[in-house]
Amino acid sequence: MSAAFPSSRRRRIANGAFRAATLLALLAVVGPVVWVIAGVVDRAVPHWRWSVLTTNTVGVSGGLENAILGTLVLLLGVLVIAGAVGVLGGVYLAELAGFNRRGKQRGGFLRAATEVLAGVPSIALGLVGYLALVVQFHWGFSLLAALVVLSVMVIPYITRGTETALRQVPTNYREGAEALGMSSGYGLRKVVLRSAMPGIVTSLLIALAISGGETAPLLYTANWFTGAPRAALFHQPIGYLTYPVWTFWDYPSNQAHYLAFDAALILLVIVLLLLVAARIIVNRSQRYAEARRN
Amino acid sequence: MSEGDERRAGEHIRTTPAESHREREIDHVLEALDPDRERPHDVVLSKDLSLSFGENRILSGVNIEFRRGTITALIGPTGCGKSTFLRTLNRMNDKVSGFRYEGDVTLEGASIFGPDQNLLHLRRRVGMVFQRPNPFPMSIRDNVVAGVKAHQIAKGKQLDVVAEERLRQVGLWGHVKDRLNDSPFRLSGGQQQLLCLARALAVGPEVLLLDEPTSALDPISTELVESLLRKLTPALTLIIVTHNLGQARRASDHTMFLYGGKLVEHGPTAELFERPKEPSTEHYVTGRMG
């Protein structure tokens, strides 16, 4: 580099400043991540009891089995509901909306609506969910109310992610599928979706991570429950890991504080496991991809 | 007897009446033996075909027939409508916004635009290979049989047979028989194009459209593809768009020259290159116009 350009004092300073700025920006991103993880681990591990995983909460002490199972049930529900709706919405926007007579892409209204939805604060969604689902529909604090609110919250991310991933699929693949006489649905399923899979899986992962870490809408819709989740959609509150993190910190007891940090640690581990799982799925689906992502 | 010998024989040797009588007899017998004798000579026929995108007219009044079992080259400068014409033959332009056609194209006597024409079935009969190799993101074996699966022509173990047969046909079997489950993107560009050819052949097309199939390939791969194309006739009818005049000359029986949205000239390849009737054809084939 220095051979190609005459080295001057000014250039050296400018280069140095630019390098320093990029490094600083990187630290600003990585620093908080390390800080958060270290902080949680540091406070949770010294008091860690494995029984936290296998006992239910009693008041503000005991274990977190109910909350762990509750969070997993919620994540599974969101994956099914939001995953289905979000991916189908994205497929519609990218593949089926088509063009209007002036050659402009259709579905603009739908796209704008999902963007607005993504911008609505989660607490507002929680309040609306409470008033509409819990009170108006008489669902009570329930799994279904929580799932609906969480799903509505993360569908925009999945829709957008799916649409973007589908748009990045090379025209080559679509033309190849068409020219072989595949119907557009068959080509979409067997060829196009296959190469959009990494983008779709990533958006699902983000959606799950967001809903796993949400508190506000769940306070309004799932409430809190110290027993294991029950197989009921209505009138049955459910526990989840963010509740102890949010509430137990306010109690004047060490037991409650330990549980709050245990819950935070378990949430972190769940999110990390999700990341790993997504990575594995992406790698598997990329086995035959043109440009391997490593 | 190869193409070239046949031509020379026609030009230089004067036949006696007795000999020509005998030749006519042989022709007669050959015709009676031809399995395609009942079918029309022209597999694909373009009748007064005009194509446009919105207000933009690409081609007008193209009348041409493609003889069964021959290779026809489409040549002409960039933007003359070669690719658009080719893509119309298996209706790949249908979904392009603003596309309109006038006139008609028939396949074995039936209009390809007819109401009882099944689009998916049409594309099975009229296959296509593209300029850039476009294997699907699946294993090499699955690529070959992708169309076969889509049309439910074969299943299970039969698919392996189809894959092997088609890979042998394009001369790839030796290279890939031990890595059928590998990604096709590890193959070289030429091998990828052969794979795409195998995939197109696997569904048993009658006509194969090739849109500059070798322009992204090196000379050796190009030669491989060209010699393969020759082997595909007369079972298949091939129509090939090419920018490479040498290729048109080497690999085709007939050549059609498109220029300025019109079919300027068409005829046997040697004739079109050596004795062009139109001045613009002559300019193009002698390289005075690109």
Q: What is the ipTM of this complex?
A: 0.80
B154 pLDDT tier (thresholds 50, 70, 90): confident
pLDDT digits (tens, 9 = 90+) for B204-216: 999 999 999 998 8
Contacts of B196 in chain A (CB under 8 A): 176
Residue A17 has pLDDT above 90, yes or no: yes
Report the share of chain B in percent with pLDDT over 90: 43
Contact A180 B203 (CB under 8 A): yes
- Residue B28 in any domain: the answer is no
Which tens digits make up the pLDDT trace of B216-246?
888 888 988 899 999 998 889 999 999 989 9
DSSP state of A105: B
Check residue A265 and give its pLDDT: 93
> What would the pLDDT profile of A70-118 be if each residue is shown by its tens digit?
999 999 999 999 999 999 999 998 888 766 666 566 777 888 888 888 8
Residue B279 sits at the chain A interface (C-beta within 8 Å): no
| Any domain includes B123 | yes
Note the Cα A57 to chain centre separation in Å: 26
Residue B183 maps to a domain: no
Instruction: Tell me, yes or no, whether B26 lies in a domain.
Output: no
User: How many domains does chain B contain in total?
Assistant: 1
Within chain A, residue ranges assigned H as helices are 9-44, 65-91, 108-119, 122-129, 143-167, 171-179, 184-187, 193-213, 216-221, 242-247, 254-285
Alpha-carbon span A106 to A96, nearest angstrom:
9
Task: Tell me, yes or no, whether B185 lies in a domain.
Answer: no
Nearest to B203 among A178, A181, A183 (CB): A181
Question: Are residues B147 and A180, on separate chains, in Cβ contact within 8 Å?
Answer: yes
Domain of B247 in residue numbering reads as 42-134+205-285
Say if residue A64's pLDDT is above 50: yes
B147 and A181 within 8 Å at the Cβ level: the answer is yes
pLDDT in tens, A144-185: 999 999 999 999 999 999 999 999 998 889 999 999 999 888
A176 DSSP β-pair partners: none
Model confidence pLDDT, tens digit, residues A230-277: 888 888 888 899 998 998 888 888 888 899 999 999 999 999 999 898
pLDDT for residue A145: 92
The predicted structure's pLDDT at residue B14: 61
The DSSP 8-state label assigned to residue B41 in this structure reads: S
**Chain A contact present for B139, CB below 8 A:** yes
| Residue from B129, B107, B127 nearest B117 by CA | B107
Give B259's contacts (C-beta < 8 A, 6+ positions apart): B76, B77, B80, B280, B281, B284
> What pLDDT is attached to residue B41?
78
Is B106 within a domain? yes
Mean per-residue pLDDT, B125-147: 92
| Count of pairs with CB atoms under 8 A, one residue in A, one in B | 82
Residue A112: its pLDDT value, please?
86
Is the per-residue pLDDT at B37 higher than 60? yes
Would the CB atoms of B130 and A179 count as touching at under 8 Å?
A: yes
Bigger pLDDT: B96 vs A29: A29
> Which of A96, A166, A180, A195 best probes binding to B when mutated, by most B CB atoms within 10 angstroms?
A180
pLDDT band at A6 (very low <50, low <70, confident <90, very high): low
Contact at CB, A181 and B199, closer than 8 angstroms: no
Residue whose C-alpha is closest to residue B205's, from B127, B91, B100:
B127
| pLDDT tier, B8 (very low <50, low <70, confident <90, very high otherwise) | very low
The tokens for A239 are: 């526990």
A134 pLDDT above the threshold of 80: yes
CATH number of domain containing B209: 3.40.50.300
Q: Does B283 touch chain A (CB under 8 A)?
A: no
Number of other residues whose CB lies within 10 A of the CB of residue A157:
23
Chain B residues in contact with A106 by the CB 8 A cut-off are: none
